[in-house]
Structure 1
Amino acid sequence: MKLLSCRTHALTAATALALTFAAPAMAGRVYLDNLKADGHYSRFIVKYRSGSEPTQAPNPLKASLSAAAERVALPSELKQRLGLKPLRAMILSGARVVATDAALDRSQTETLMRQIAADANVEFVQIDELQTLFAVPNDPVLSKQWHYADSAVGIRGPSAWSMSTGRGAVVAVIDSGVYAAHTDLAANLLPGYDFIGSANGLGKLCTEAGYPANCGGSGDGDGRDANPEDSSKMEHGTHVAGTVAAVGNNGLGGVGVAYEAKILPLRVSGNSGVNLTSDAADAIVWAAGGAVSGVPANPNRADVINLSLGGGAPCTQAPVYQAAIDSAVANGSVVVVAAGNSNKDVANFSPASCNGAISVAASNKKGKRSSYSNFGATIDVTAPGGEDSFIGPSATEGIISTIGGNKTGPMAGTSMASPHVAGVAALIQSAARAKLSPAQVEHILKSSARPISASNCSGGCGAGLVDAAAAVAAARNATP
């Protein structure tokens, strides 16, 4: 009996010992979502379990941090000057602010945080994040840009800007070109391209359609070239580009939705604001990194492509648009398209009705579908497009953005709604931990939109009014 008892105790002890090695204490949680790819970090919040030794005396706390610093895999020179140490206790029980002497990049920071969390006494580790008040830019015209506001009718830009400003994203604006010297655009412009093939206009094609004979001409005396300047003085492309990414915090004019993104201006619309489908399709393919005969390779592939143009035919009758959009999406570019201004079903317009395109309807300052906006079951989302007055663009009801003369001014249309969504798509890609697919970006835009009631949108406004803040928050948690 005594022998059995000894064997039982031995077996119990052996089992306990085996469990000790087989099931070590669970590591604390590590919060990494706020780490930016280009960030550098040196302060952390470490939450120790209440009552644990590091919370009771200085030496166990220092020992815990010293052990983490010893285990972490870093270059030897950096490890020698790491200097991980406690700074102070927080009001949260067991929480301590700790710091390093040397700043660490994202990868090194994650490595250190995981080593700190490996201590069984640690509940969690997060960075002690440098924050500001909501990042409202200092641009003086922003107060008139109602369409960005944190309101029922705005896209909630200020709340989004505290999380993302579009840095690192490239948005191609396929339009009438830009005024490159505009001081609220110049810093964000990449070298673009002029895809207009006709120097003098399209002649009979124009007159038969009721336009002057020179419609669609480049106005610059030549054909395709590397200068996307708005030689036809349409201002449309300049306004659209400003909504996407007019420079923020420069004390000038207004601001763009993704004011630290870069704009890739591609000119396809010439005199009278007319373009050929073939030119626009080439520009779509080229923007996404595809090859176009006779055009140099694009060194700045677009994350997002905006098309504030189109015609009155369903995409099933415009297969070249579908092929171009398929190519762009396959190359990873998000394609955003204005729904059109005919107060009709978008199904009868292209490229807005093409598969893979994010079709955007327009809303006004009252939160209703704009009077002119196309609608329908294939609208994806809605964004502010404003309304005109009886005598032209309304300074209070229109969308305020960059125009000629180095100024800002109002325009209205689904052309103005679409770049809001393109800008939000840029914010999403900038905020995400890794690049998201076009389908993922579309899902975030739609799932985070605020529904618009049927009484405010007869015919269908898709998932609703785009919500930049909700979209960016979702992007930060998305798994690529």
Structure 2
Amino acid sequence: MAFTRTVRVLSATALTGSLILTATPGAFADQTRDAQWHLETLQAESVWEISKGKGVTVAVIDTGVNTQHVDLRDNLLKGYDFEDNDEDPSPEEGDLLSPTHGTGMASLIAGHGHGSGAADGVMGLAPEAKILPIRSGGEMGFAEEIRYAVDHGASVINISQGESQGLDADREAVAYALQHDALIVTASGNAGSEVDDYPALYPGVLTVGGVNKNGTIWEGSNYGPEVLLSAPAARLVSASWPGNKLRIADGTSGAAALTSAAAALIKSKYPDLTPGQIVNRLVKTAVLPDSIKDLSLPDEKYGYGAIRPLAALTGDIPAGGEYGPLKVPESLGSSDSGVSGKDYAAENAKADQKQMVFLAVLGLVSLAVIGLFVFLIVKLTRRNRNKNSDLGVSAGYPHHYGQQPVPQQQNPYQQQSTPPHGQWPPQQ
């Protein structure tokens, strides 16, 4: 039976819809890097001391990637064009799905800048990850593209596109990706309404909403129970096409790309983690703005909150189950085998309670040990003093009763003040 499928890239062009810089990026070096506000918000400089995404391949299934862009070309692998069935995944003039879009997503993930010390141009959040560019309009779904990405070594697959109807082949491809340790990240959409696109609606996919600079939800971000995380989505500067042009745009496409980059950073540092366990780290360290109160997580707009790559890389977080907070595709288990949002939140709360009990017990044991230690010191001190007193009298030495001041012992287990939770942007 024939049917009509609507395909659209998931970035808004209402802001400008065009390139902000038409000269080479070098002429705008300072303003380009300064304009990438999300790097500072996501603590990129500190993140890069731990991980830059080295050794991880991120597939970008989109409208093609500018293979010659000065800020991106060194991190591009040989890809494929499923529109023209050839090995040139470059954008094409007249593409109705915005030929600049895929290049922008790739650069947000793994742009490497240029110039001395790579100080100029667009820098991605995972600047040492490799991009596998895959050009696809999505008219026939994304199954072939997903399987190609998996079979060519992608650990993370970014799909900042959406189509209006789901396909069994795509569902099976999502399960195939999970079985082969590849995480699919997609955008929630930009209509400011309920999530209604695929692959965002498929079980097993990480769906991401968008936030503004202050951490509050971006007004165009679609919402629903599928949203697990959020990330910067407003006025994102990225590479473009043709030539070395740059673009600026709003949209959850960019939020998905930055989340894909964060996943690549984690995969690089913790290569044995499954896709669900990578998401688990992102979820456990996500943050909500201070202005948001009394939300039941996951929230339909924020999910569990905005990503914090540095905390996700450095936090002491148990790996957890294979699928983490991802809903499990039916082909990988029973229809109810996935952990629902509420169940996962309950598991988190239970784990937090266990940790609090453990810390409380540890504190009591520590205090008991310290108390015993102090008791022994006092007892030994008194014994030595009595012994010295006896010696002093028998030898005729003057005996001093004045007690010398003893330096106060600091309790090494005393709780130190910690930074307040819920800050956005996160504090260095």
Q: Same fold by TM (over 0.5)? A: yes
2:139 is matched with which residue?
A: 276
Q: Of the candidates 310, 316, 319, which is equivalent to residue 162 of structure 2? A: 310
For residues 277 and 421 of structure 1, what CA distance do their matches in structure 2 show? Answer: 26
CA deviation digits over 1:420-463, x for unaligned, max 9? 0000000001111x321111111111111112465799843101
Give 5+ residue unaligned stretches, structure 1: 1-138, 197-222, 270-274, 290-297, 387-397
1:179 aligns with 2:28: no
Answer whether contact 1:382 1:461 (CA < 8 A) is retained: yes
The match for 1:227 is 88
**Aligned residue number for residue 319 of structure 1:** 168
- Look up the match of 2:263: 425
Q: Is the 8 A contact 2:281 2:317 kept in 1?
A: no
SS in 1 for 2:134: strand
Structure having greater relative contact order (Cα 8 Å, sep ≥ 6)? 2
Q: What does residue 46 of structure 1 align with?
A: none
1:245 and 2:110 correspond: yes
Q: What CA deviation, in whole Å up to 9, does each residue of 1:17-52 have, x standing for no partner? A: xxxxxxxxxxxxxxxxxxxxxxxxxxxxxxxxxxxx
310 and 408 in structure 1: CA distance in 2 versus 1, 3 angstrom threshold = same
> How many Å separate the matches in 2 of 1:399 and 1:157?
15
Identify if the C-alpha distance between structure 1 residues 259 and 469 changes in structure 2 by more than 3 Å, giving closer, same or farther.
same
Aligned 1:23-422 pairs, distance under 5 A: 140=30, 141-149=32-40, 154-196=41-83, 223-232=84-93, 234-248=99-113, 249-269=117-137, 275-278=138-141, 280-289=142-151, 298=152, 301-313=153-165, 317-346=166-195, 348-386=196-234, 398-404=235-241, 405-422=243-260
Aligned to 2:310: 469
Q: In the superposition, relative to structure 1, how do residues 475 and 161 fare at CA in structure 2: closer, same or farther (>3 Å)? A: farther
Query: What is the identity, as a one-letter code, of the residue corresponding to 2:51?
Result: S
TM-score, normalized by length of structure 1?
0.55
Q: 1:456 to 1:402 in 2, by over 3 A?
A: farther
Equivalent residue letter for 1:238: T
* Structure 1 residue ranges, 4+ long, deviating more than 6 angstroms after superposition: 455-458
Alpha-carbon distance, 1:262 to partner: 0.4
Give 3-state SS (helix, strand or coil) of 1:288's partner.
helix
Unaligned runs of 5+ in 2: 1-28, 323-428
* Other structure's SS at 1:329 match: helix
Q: How many residues are matched?
A: 280
The aligned amino acid for 1:225 is: D
In the TM superposition, what are the counterparts of 1:431-450 in structure 2 within 5 Å?
431-432=269-270, 434-450=271-287
CA distance in structure 2 between the aligned counterparts of 1:378 and 1:283, rounded to whole angstroms = 22
Q: Is the 8 A contact 2:222 2:301 kept in 1?
A: no
Match of 1:272 in 2: none
Aligned-residue Cα RMSD (Å) equals 2.3
Query: What is the Cα deviation at residue 369 of structure 1?
Result: 1.1
Question: Do the aligned residues in 2 keep the contact of 1:362 with 1:413 (CA within 8 Å)?
Answer: yes
Aligned equivalents of 2:283, 2:39: Cα separation in 1: 18
- Report the alpha carbon displacement of residue 142 of structure 1 after superposing the two structures with TM: 2.2
Q: Is the 8 Å Cα contact of residues 147 and 155 (structure 1) preserved in structure 2?
A: yes
Describe the superposition over 1:271-327 as per-residue Cα deviations: whole angstroms up to 9, x where unpaired.
Answer: xxxx3133x2210111011xxxxxxxx3xx1010000001234xxx43332211111
Residue pair 1:429, 1:475 contacting (<8 A) in 2 also: no
Contact 1:369 1:456 in 2 (8 A): no
- CA shift for structure 1 position 377: 2.0
* SS at 1:380 equivalent: strand
Shift of 1:162: 1.4
| 1:455–1:165 distance in 2 versus 1, CA, 3 Å | same
Residue identity (%): 34
Per the TM alignment, residue 471 of structure 1 is displaced from its structure 2 partner at its CA by 1.1
| SS of structure 1 residue aligned to 2:231 | strand
Please tell me whether the aligned partners of residues 303 and 426 of structure 1 are also in contact (alpha carbons under 8 angstroms): yes
Q: How far apart are 1:182 and its partner, in Å?
A: 0.4
Q: How many Å separate the matches in 2 of 1:359 and 1:251?
A: 32
Instruction: Describe the shift of the 1:302–1:450 C-alpha distance in structure 2 as closer, same or farther (beyond 3 A).
Output: same
* Residues 382 and 466 in structure 1, CA contact (< 8 A), matched pair in contact too: yes
Counterpart-to-counterpart distance in 1, 2:140 and 2:250 = 23
- Kept after mapping to 1: 8 A contact 2:33/2:120: no
Residues 367 and 456, structure 1, Cα contact 8 Å, conserved in 2: no
